[in-house]
């Protein structure tokens, strides 16, 4: 489980969010067996997607999709309003030597490409609206800067975004992960913005603070440079996928009688892999026969 908080500052002219996603990123790394650099990249996208979801009220599903020209190929993360997130890297083995600073070279495996945000709403109450899709070119490949660029260009919200993942050499491999998002809304004063910009530029790395025991509230205090804020809410967060054996059965049934019969006769069963969580569902011959009987009814 992780923890996400959100609030306002300066009479509602600044929106703030912070999250501890250590357990979430550790679970993603365990499931997908990602390389160190891919772990950092995927962890940053999962964290950024959770933070971005905290800024929207009217969505059932928020998807951030990075179409990358680099070795990692792409990264997809999906969050819901309840604090659940899931995601994967297309090439989990993508890796690169660390930079001279010791940081992961995430931009080295991401490269150029496109950054997409897809917001879907209405499904939980039976409505099927067209999703909102925003997109911008990847400008950094380091992920945090790309979230900030998206917010500035597509949502017209100047923002500071900090995302971090710290790894260790033994399980669970992820020793700290988290993020901060600060959005300047209409009415934000230039002097206040300057204070926050200076604080963000001069603050220690998020994961350094977290390793020292900093809470999500502490991360916000450090990043805000002493400017006070009011917390409006918090929620527990988790890496959680909505796939299931029952859903796998429904997907196979949707393929139609001919395809299901082929699976039964040629393979004596079926296997479905969930890309988001790397879970494998095995469908028995008996279950395929039950599906065929249902389709023939």
CA-based nearest residue to 20, from 267, 219, 196: 219
| 271 DSSP β-pair partners | 282
β-strands 280-283, 61-68 pairing: unpaired
Q: What angle do CA 127, 129, 132 make, to 5 degrees?
A: 140
Report d(CA 122, CA 124) in Å as an integer: 6
Question: What's residue 46's pLDDT?
Answer: 98
Torsion of CA 214, 217, 222, 225, to 10 degrees: -160
Which stretches of the chain score pLDDT less than 50? none
Question: What's residue 59's pLDDT?
Answer: 79
291's CB contacts (< 8 A; 6+ apart) are 249, 252, 253, 260
CA-based nearest residue to 165, from 295, 48, 54: 48
Question: What's residue 296's pLDDT?
Answer: 84
Query: Which domains does the chain possess?
Result: 2-239 (3.55.30.10), 245-296 (3.90.1280.10)
Question: What's residue 125's pLDDT?
Answer: 60
Question: What's residue 151's pLDDT?
Answer: 97
Q: Are 136 and 119 in contact (CB under 8 A)?
A: no
Question: What's residue 240's pLDDT?
Answer: 96
Question: What's residue 127's pLDDT?
Answer: 66
pTM for the model: 0.94
């Amino acid at each position: 489980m992780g923890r996400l908080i959100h609030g306002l500052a300066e009479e509602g002219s600044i929106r703030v969010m912070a999250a501890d996603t250590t357990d979430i990123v550790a679970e993603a790394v365990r499931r997908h067996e990602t390389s160190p650099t891919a772990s950092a990249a995927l962890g940053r996208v999962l964290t950024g997607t959770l933070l971005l979801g905290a800024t929207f009220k009217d969505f059932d599903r928020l998807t951030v999709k990075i179409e990358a020209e680099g070795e990692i190929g792409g990264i997809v993360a999906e969050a819901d309003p309840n604090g659940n997130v899931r995601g994967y890297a297309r090439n989990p083995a993508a890796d690169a030597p660390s930079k001279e600073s010791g940081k992961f070279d995430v931009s080295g495996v991401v490269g150029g490409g496109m950054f997409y945000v897809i917001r879907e709403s209405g499904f939980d109450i039976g409505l099927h609206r067209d999703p909102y899709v925003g997109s911008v070119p990847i400008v950094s490949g380091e992920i945090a800067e790309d979230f900030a660029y998206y917010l500035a260009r597509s949502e017209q919200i100047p923002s500071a975004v900090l995302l971090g993942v710290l790894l260790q050499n033994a399980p669970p491999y992820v020793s700290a992960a988290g993020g901060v998002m600060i959005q300047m809304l209409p009415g934000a004063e230039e002097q206040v913005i300057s204070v926050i910009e200076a604080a963000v530029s001069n603050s220690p790395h998020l994961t350094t603070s977290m390793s020292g025991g900093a809470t999500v509230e502490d991360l916000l205090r450090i990043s805000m440079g002493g400017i006070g804020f009011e917390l409006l809410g918090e929620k527990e967060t988790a890496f959680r996928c909505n796939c299931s054996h029952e859903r796998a059965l429904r997907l196979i049934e949707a393929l139609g009688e001919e395809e299901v019969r082929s699976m039964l006769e040629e393979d004596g069963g079926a296997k479905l892999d969930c890309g988001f969580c790397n879970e494998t569902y095995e469908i028995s011959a008996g279950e395929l026969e039950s599906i065929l009987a249902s389709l023939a009814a």
